[in-house]
């Protein structure tokens, strides 16, 4: 019994697996692009299926396909979304640059299911793809999938991270530590000031991502082949966005200029750039945690991160900062993804960008990676670390840089001399200052009080 069937397209006949929902064009792509073994991201395919449902609804309203055909297409799309749809989408990421193979994959799968539901032929091109081109549906699906991923995953994850940091800042507010610039001892800071600095970095990133959402939610759909809208009803773009908004509960609109949205991927590049900036912030936070946790004996040892797993296959008892390390690697990957998207964004040759699949892959990968890493960093590192108060106080008491507070009274030069003596002699700065100034110990205790120094002023 044969395990294949014969399918036909404009180029002729082709053998397709007998149980496959897709047809000849998908099979050609499978045969032509055995490149990486990586399929297009599930979030992208989900957006593409949603777009097909929205297009069918719009085309029924516009009289471009029958109500029965439209219902069958919508029901087929809904059925896919409710199941394990990725098994029906085998096309490699590294395919034709327009993503035509993935578009036809969706058209063929939905047409097969819709034909079964309707009891008559629903054509992949004439019905499922009605009013569309790969050149507008793929850029649209990139925008839709990224917008949904930001709304559903990354923005909530970053907000959760901010909330955890701010709660931890309240908890550690009483603790004062030696500040560091150039990795060298500097003036004291509250641990809460450090954490609230992290929180503000992330809030700024959240704000910048939110600012990009209106552009991301403006769609290329309706431009068809080159942006002119040939073969699409004049109201198709408007009704498509309305239907997609109903399906997703996210506000989508037609783009102001469809030529720009098909010929370029500037919005995706901008979003990726902001994802890179967010990754840089996560890297800074992860590295601060690693430094403060370092030791515990030969490092700073200011905090103790939760021990999650043995840290060495040879050194018993060693425990490493695994969550910050994982976060740092995620950040590095996102930075790399942005480089790929930047290069791909330059491939808008005339009326079409021809690196769309890799833009979709890297953009969604960055969002997914940081969504997961942000929650892990919040729940398994920041929420659970303990403060080594004794280590903080020991370092503060021996920090000659506290002498900076005496500058307005004794001058920079005299203060520098006292700091150098304190370093050389390994003594607390208050003892050295008592010997080399006319200030009393009581006055010095007030002037050099680390708690007061964290509040600024003269």
> Which residues are annotated as catalytic?
182, 312
Q: Which residues are CB-neighbours of 455 under 8 A, at least 6 positions away?
A: none
Whole-number Å distance between alpha carbons of 8 and 24:
6
Whole-number Å distance between alpha carbons of 43 and 48:
9
Is 124 annotated among the ligand-binding residues?
yes
Is 107 annotated among the ligand-binding residues?
no
Is 100 annotated among the ligand-binding residues?
yes
Q: At what angle do helices 356-377 and 266-293 cross, to 10 degrees?
A: 30
Is 125 annotated among the ligand-binding residues?
yes
Is 126 annotated among the ligand-binding residues?
yes
∠ CA 70-129-100 to the nearest 5 degrees? 150
- Annotate 329-392 with DSSP letters as a single string: HHHHHHHHHHHHHHHHHT-EETTEES-HHHHHHHHHHHHHHHHHHHHHHIIIIITT-EE-HHHH
Nearest to 264 by CA among 225, 222, 212, 220: 220
Is 264 annotated among the ligand-binding residues?
no
- For 57-154, list the strands marked E by DSSP: none
∠ CA 128-134-140 to the nearest 5 degrees? 95
Is 334 annotated among the ligand-binding residues?
no
Q: Which residues are CB-neighbours of 443 under 8 A, at least 6 positions away?
A: none
Count of Cβ atoms closer than 10 Å to residue 313 Cβ = 7
Inter-residue contact 354 to 265 (CB < 8 Å) = no
Is 320 annotated among the ligand-binding residues?
yes
Count of alpha carbons within 13 angstroms of residue 360, beta-carbon side: 34
- Annotate 214-261 with DSSP letters as a single string: HHHTEE-TT-TTTSS-TTS-TTHHHHHHHHHHHHHSS--EE-S-HHHH
Is 248 annotated among the ligand-binding residues?
no
Count of Cβ atoms closer than 10 Å to residue 119 Cβ = 8
∠ CA 46-123-56 to the nearest 5 degrees? 50
Is 214 annotated among the ligand-binding residues?
no
Count of Cβ atoms closer than 10 Å to residue 356 Cβ = 28
Is 380 annotated among the ligand-binding residues?
no
User: Which token pair is 189?
Assistant: 């800071």
Torsions phi, psi for 14 (to 5 deg): -155, 145
Whole-number Å distance between alpha carbons of 395 and 190:
14
Instruction: Please enumerate, by residue number, every residue annotated as part of a binding site for substrate.
Output: 98-100, 123-126, 133-135, 181, 313, 318-320
Instruction: Please enumerate, by residue number, every residue annotated as part of a binding site.
Output: 98-100, 123-126, 133-135, 181, 313, 318-320
């Amino acid at each position: 019994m044969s395990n294949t069937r014969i399918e036909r397209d404009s180029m002729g006949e082709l053998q397709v697996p007998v149980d496959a929902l897709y047809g000849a064009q998908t099979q050609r792509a499978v045969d032509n692009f055995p490149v990486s073994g990586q399929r297009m991201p599930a979030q992208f395919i989900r957006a593409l299926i949603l777009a097909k449902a929205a297009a069918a609804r719009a085309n029924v309203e516009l009289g471009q396909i029958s109500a029965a055909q439209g219902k069958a297409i919508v029901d087929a799309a809904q059925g896919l979304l409710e199941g394990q749809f990725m098994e029906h989408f085998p096309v490699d990421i590294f395919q034709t640059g327009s993503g035509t193979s993935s578009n036809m994959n969706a058209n063929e799968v939905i047409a097969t299911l819709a034909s079964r539901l309707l009891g008559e032929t629903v054509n992949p091109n004439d019905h499922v793809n009605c009013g569309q081109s790969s050149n507008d549906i793929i850029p649209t699906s990139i925008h839709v999938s990224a917008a949904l991923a930001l709304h559903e995953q990354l923005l909530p994850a970053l907000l959760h991270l901010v909330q955890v940091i701010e709660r931890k800042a309240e908890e550690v507010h009483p603790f004062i530590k030696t500040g560091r610039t150039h990795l060298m001892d500097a003036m004291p800071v509250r641990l809460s000031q450090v954490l609230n600095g992290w929180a503000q970095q992330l809030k700024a990133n959240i704000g910048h991502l939110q600012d990009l959402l209106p552009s991301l939610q403006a769609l290329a759909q309706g431009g068809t082949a080159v942006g002119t809208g040939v073969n699409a009803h004049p109201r198709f773009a408007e009704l498509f966005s309305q239907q997609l908004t109903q399906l997703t509960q996210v506000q989508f609109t037609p783009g102001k200029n469809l030529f720009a949205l098909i010929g370029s991927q500037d919005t995706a590049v901008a979003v990726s750039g902001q994802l890179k900036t967010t990754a840089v912030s996560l890297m800074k936070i992860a590295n601060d945690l690693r430094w403060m946790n370092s030791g515990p004996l030969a490092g700073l040892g200011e905090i103790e991160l939760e021990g999650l797993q043995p840290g060495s296959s040879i050194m018993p008892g060693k425990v490493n900062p695994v969550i910050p390390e994982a976060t740092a690697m995620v950040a590095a990957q996102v930075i790399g993804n942005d480089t790929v998207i930047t290069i791909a964004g330059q491939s808008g040759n005339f009326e079409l960008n021809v690196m769309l699949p890799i833009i979709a892959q890297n953009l969604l990968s960055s969002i997914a990676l940081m969504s997961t890493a942000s929650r892990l960093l919040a729940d398994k590192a920041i929420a659970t670390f303990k403060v080594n108060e004794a280590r903080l106080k020991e370092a503060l008491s021996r920090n000659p840089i506290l002498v900076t507070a005496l500058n307005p009274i004794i001058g920079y030069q005299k203060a520098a001399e006292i700091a150098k003596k304190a370093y050389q002699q390994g003594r607390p700065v208050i003892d050295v200052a008592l010997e080399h100034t006319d200030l009393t110990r009581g006055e010095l205790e007030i002037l050099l009080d680390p708690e007061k120094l964290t509040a600024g002023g003269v």
